[in-house]
Amino acid sequence: MTYARIIGTGSFLPEKVVTNADLEKSIETSDEWIRERTGIRRRHIAADGETTSEIGLRAAERAIEAAGIDAADIDLIVVGTATPDKIFPATACIIQRKLGIAGCAAYDVSAACSGFVYGLDVANRFIQTGGGRTALVIGAETLSRITNWEDRTTAVLFGDGAGAVVLQANEETGIISTHIHADGRAEELLHVPTGISIGYEAVQAGEAYIAMNGNAVFRKAVATLDSIARETLAGNGVDKHDLDWFIPHQANLRIIRAAAKKLDMPMERVVVTVDEHANTSAASIPLALDIAVRDGRIKRGELLLLEAFGAGFTWGSALLRY
């Protein structure tokens, strides 16, 4: 059997840092309030001219280097993002050009915070069905561009960053299964109220910012992450206690702890990076994965559960042997 196996990881965070103390100077909030409710201490913000493709490229280059391959070996590029450089072409195509390659398939996946897991699902099926041998999956966001920095309910939550993995066909077990879902009925609980086909007038009126019903999203996220974990483990005949690591979407420490508790997973076996970069949407899981791989926590052969939940609502999981 052919598996899609992760052979390299990479990540990148912009140099500029905005701490909770910095936000105290511009909006009515406090470091204590933010940390108690979210676990976030700081977030990285893209500089002027630093685009999603640019930070995605940095993460991709590090993943390619870790994989020990040439960019020309890549058969597919998938970028999960809600903040593309342009309406078109796809940010994946822009990154492809910046990598100095051409010819392989390249496109974006728009599934908000679940974008990376959706991308893994696509790439896994691509490799398993013989579409190619090597895939580059990136999660990259510049959420600062769609954050209202005067809105205390959302300004504290989001940051910019990118993470990437290189997948390659292998006889050793890699991705065991992926599961993705969506429910568009919850659209207005977490969304950007305007967009291109709605009309530029709304954008010019300053309405192109993230809007969120925080309490409703919290409740839905905890319940949904529990259900997708049960689906994933039951579908593969895996006991939750067999998991070595849990890598959830890094949105809120309270959500992460609640999801870990339902899995009976000690927090020492949960990768948590939200305190360092806030919610980076599609970038958060590959960011967390890369950090834990590079600091030596995650080792070859260990069993990982990745889970995401985002606007749409979208949600998904991936069970894999690293």
Residues 77 and 205 in one domain: no
3-state secondary structure of 53: helix
Query: Rounded CA gap, 304 and 321, in Å?
Result: 6
Residues 57 and 135 in one domain: yes
Sort residue 39 into left (φ over 0), alpha (ψ -120 to 50) or beta.
left
Residues 206 and 135 in one domain: no
Tokens of 20: 């909770």
Residues 60 and 79 in one domain: yes
Average pLDDT, the chain: 96
Query: Rounded CA gap, 13 and 163, in Å?
Result: 9
Catalytic residue among 93, 113, 179, 277: 113
* pLDDT tier for residue 199 given thresholds of 50, 70 and 90: confident
Residues 23 and 167 in one domain: yes
Residues 160 and 13 in one domain: yes
| Residue at 32: amino acid letter | E
Residues 198 and 295 in one domain: yes
- pTM exceeding the 0.85 threshold for the entire prediction: yes
Mean pLDDT within 71-97: 98
Virtual torsion, Cα 39, 308, 291, 251, nearest 10 deg: -20
Q: Identify whether 236 is a catalytic site residue.
A: no
Catalytic residue among 44, 93, 124, 249: 249
Tokens of 38: 């979210």
Domain stops at, among 122, 141, 172? 172
Q: Identify whether 104 is a catalytic site residue.
A: no
Residues 128 and 33 in one domain: yes
Q: Per-residue pLDDT tens for 208-221?
A: 899 999 999 999 99
Query: Rounded CA gap, 225 and 26, in Å?
Result: 34
Query: Rounded CA gap, 178 and 193, in Å?
Result: 30
Mean pLDDT within 60-76: 98
Domain stops at, among 147, 172, 197? 172
Q: Per-residue pLDDT tens for 26-37?
A: 999 999 999 999
Q: Which helix (H) or strand (E) holds 79?
A: strand 76-80
Domain hosting residue 49, numbered range: 3-172
Asked whether residue 93 carries a pLDDT value surpassing 90, the answer given is yes
Residues 10 and 151 in one domain: yes
Query: Rounded CA gap, 116 and 126, in Å?
Result: 15
Distances from the Cα of 291 to the Cαs of 31, 46, 295, in angstroms? 25, 19, 6
Catalytic residue among 20, 124, 252, 279: 279
Mean pLDDT within 140-145: 98
What length is written for the chain? 322
Mean pLDDT within 66-82: 98
At residue 244, the pLDDT reads 98
Residues 104 and 196 in one domain: no
Asked whether residue 200 carries a pLDDT value surpassing 80, the answer given is no
Residues 209 and 276 in one domain: yes
Tokens of 22: 């910095």
Residues 160 and 184 in one domain: no
CATH number of domain containing 84: 3.40.47.10
Say how many CA atoms lie within 13 Å of 322 toward its Cβ: 24
Q: Identify whether 181 is a catalytic site residue.
A: no
Q: How many domains does the chain have?
A: 2
Domain stops at, among 125, 152, 172? 172
